[in-house]
Amino acid sequence: MPTVQIMQKATILLVVISGVVGLGLILSFYGNQVLFEGLTNGEGGISTGEELVISADLKRADSQNGIYAVQLLEYVDGMSVHVLDPFGNMIESDNIDGDLSEGVFPVESDGMYSMVVKNDGSEKAEVFGVIGPEPDAGAKSIGFISLYVLVIGLAGMLGVGVFAFRKRKRT
């Protein structure tokens, strides 16, 4: 087979595989939008003795569980996070022992759930936090599908490269 035909086939395959990778990137972007659409975020510096409060209106009909996550830009000792239900009762509490703390809590009734990040340490902490409803299985699956499509696309690109190289070397 002439080199020109081999390169034309490889080019066509590469264009198709590039489309698969593009689809994977679009699905990944869309999946992230779907996963994070219901979450409320907040950020800021918390000095010693201060707290950051982030609230989200959760409905039991939308999700039976809520999620929260707190990320410290740099680890500071003495940080804690508490989740309060609409009546002010503490339903979740955790010491932040690393750069990231996350968890799941039950949504027992409709209303404003609050995440309180406290700094009882001796240094100021830069904090980013989110709270909201737990994403449903469909939203989570989009993230996995996009990963699989990207892996297939990248493996296809590698395969096309090997195919073109081997065929070109033989002629």
| DSSP-derived pairing of the beta strands 79-84 and 40-46 | unpaired
According to DSSP, the residues that pair with 131 across neighbouring strands are 40, 68
Residue 18: the pLDDT is 86
Average pLDDT over residues 11-33: 83
Q: How confident is the model at residue 84 (pLDDT cuts 50, 70, 90)?
A: very high
Residue 143: the pLDDT is 74
Average pLDDT over residues 128-134: 92
Instruction: Report the share of the chain in percent with pLDDT over 70.
Output: 92
Residue 58: the pLDDT is 92
Residue 112: the pLDDT is 95
Structural class in CATH, domain 39-135: mainly beta
Q: Which two tokens stand for residue 48?
A: 């010693």
* Domain layout of the chain by residue ranges: 3-34+140-170, 39-135
In this predicted structure, the answer to whether residue 156 has a pLDDT above a threshold of 60 is yes
Are the C-beta atoms of 109 and 125 separated by less than 8 Å?
A: no
Stretch among 35-44, 52-61, 92-101 having the lowest mean pLDDT: 35-44
Average pLDDT over residues 129-147: 81
Average pLDDT over residues 27-50: 83
| DSSP H helix total and E strand total for the chain | 2, 8
Residue 106: the pLDDT is 94
Average pLDDT over residues 68-83: 91
Residue 171: the pLDDT is 61
Residue 69: the pLDDT is 93
Instruction: Report the share of the chain in percent with pLDDT over 90.
Output: 40
Q: How far apart are the first and last CA of the chain?
A: 7
Average pLDDT over residues 82-103: 92
